[in-house]
Structure 1
């Protein structure tokens, strides 16, 4: 998948804005589903510069800690386990990078995309949720037996949000690709 630097800049700005307006209760008056996971995955797919990952993570962190400081959210999730989000989001970003290399403009790429989303989301969930459960100090005497049912409870919701945004992005990509192909056909003498 080759995108011009101008297209990558536009996509990067849209992803940063999407992260800002969907992460917690701060700007938006309507609570949109969190796009955080999708932003990291899509950035891995669509944006080449490696500095994008730390920049997006810094944005997410600044949003989270500013919301706590402003009192718009409580500090429940800000514990030493917060930093497990670095490898968790890296799993999504890395999954996106892998998919970018595997992508072909063929229908079967949708199956590869779906599988990549499922696996990278599961790794992200196990790291973020497991890290919080076992390392935050919020749960006295955490056990694997008590953690396992939490996967079935929380993973589908996070996966649904990710799938929603990746699905919209995929539809936009397919639509834009068809539009530009049609433009090229019409431009030929």
Structure 2
């Protein structure tokens, strides 16, 4: 199995699962906790192209949320709108799947181009609209508030929502490049010996 296939098929799910477990308990982060990496996790899971991984990560997210709420985290966001996290994360997964076909995201030419980060930012923005719009419509928490009032209220979350996803995207791509460089260096040493 070549390196690109090995990184994508064998190794990718492990750090994605770890990132979800380590960051999902505190959605916005604080001094002691990193912000939630779920959007970036689903984006990178799209590279894997395995619908079973998508289903597993959706179930893992729900399990983590359940455990967090049962151990004292607020359950404010768990309403009938919670089910709309499925299309929210599916959009990220589909964007990752799309980007896996782009030359910029091919494992042989993985780079931090403006275009690739643009796709990630655009998709995170769509995910923000899906998750927040569905919360407004289906949560029954804002029955006396107009759409404009609601979006004025949640707009301050948007930069962190998209920004943390972009940071995780940059870190994820940089880590893949680092692993590939280390492996290539070791392979080069083996052929010289």
C-alpha separation in 1, matches of 2:17 and 2:182:
25
Q: Match for residue 84 of structure 1?
A: 84
Q: Match for residue 96 of structure 1?
A: 96
Tell me, which stretches of 5 or more residues in structure 1 are unaligned?
none
C-alpha separation in 2, matches of 1:44 and 1:16:
13
Aligned partner of residue 3 in structure 1, secondary structure = helix
Q: Does 1:17 align with 2:18?
A: yes
Q: Match for residue 172 of structure 1?
A: 175
The CA deviation at 1:107 is 7.4
| 1:128-187 deviation digits (Å, cap 9, x = unpaired) | 011112210111234221233346311110112111211111111222233333344444
Q: Does 1:146 align with 2:149?
A: yes
C-alpha separation in 2, matches of 1:17 and 1:61:
15
Q: Match for residue 39 of structure 1?
A: 41
Q: CA separation of 1:108/1:140 partners in 2, compared to 1, >3 Å: closer, same or farther? A: same
Q: Match for residue 165 of structure 2?
A: 162
C-alpha separation in 1, matches of 2:170 and 2:52:
25
The CA deviation at 1:111 is 2.2
Greater shift, 166-175 or 146-155, is seen at 146-155
Q: Match for residue 121 of structure 1?
A: 124
Question: How many aligned residue pairs are there?
Answer: 183
Q: TM-score, normalised by structure 2?
A: 0.83
Please, what is the CA RMSD of the aligned residues?
A: 2.4
Q: Does 1:57 align with 2:44?
A: no
| 1:29-71 deviation digits (Å, cap 9, x = unpaired) | 93221111111111112x232111110010000111222223x
C-alpha separation in 2, matches of 1:159 and 1:57:
20
Aligned partner of residue 54 in structure 2, secondary structure = helix
